[in-house]
Amino acid sequence: MKRRNFILLTGVATGMVIIPPSLYFISPDLKNYAKMLINRELGYLKLEPKGLDLYIEDYFKNSGNNTLSTIKWKVLYFLKYDSKNAERINDLLKYYLLSTDFFINQMDVSKPVNYIRMFDPYKSPIPNPYSYILLPAI
Residue ranges of the domains in the chain? 28-113
pLDDT digits (tens, 9 = 90+) for 91-114: 888 889 888 888 888 788 889 999
- Residues 54 and 100: their CA atoms lie apart, in Å, by 11
- CA atoms of 83 and 85, how far apart (whole Å): 5
Give me the tens of pLDDT residue by residue for the chain, a chain 138 residues long: 677 777 877 777 777 666 666 656 666 677 888 888 889 888 898 999 999 999 988 888 876 667 777 777 777 777 777 777 788 888 888 889 888 888 888 788 889 999 988 887 777 655 665 665 555 566
Looking at residue 107, its amino acid is M
Segments in 1-138 forming alpha helices (H): 3-26, 30-41, 49-62, 67-78, 87-98
Residues in the chain: 138
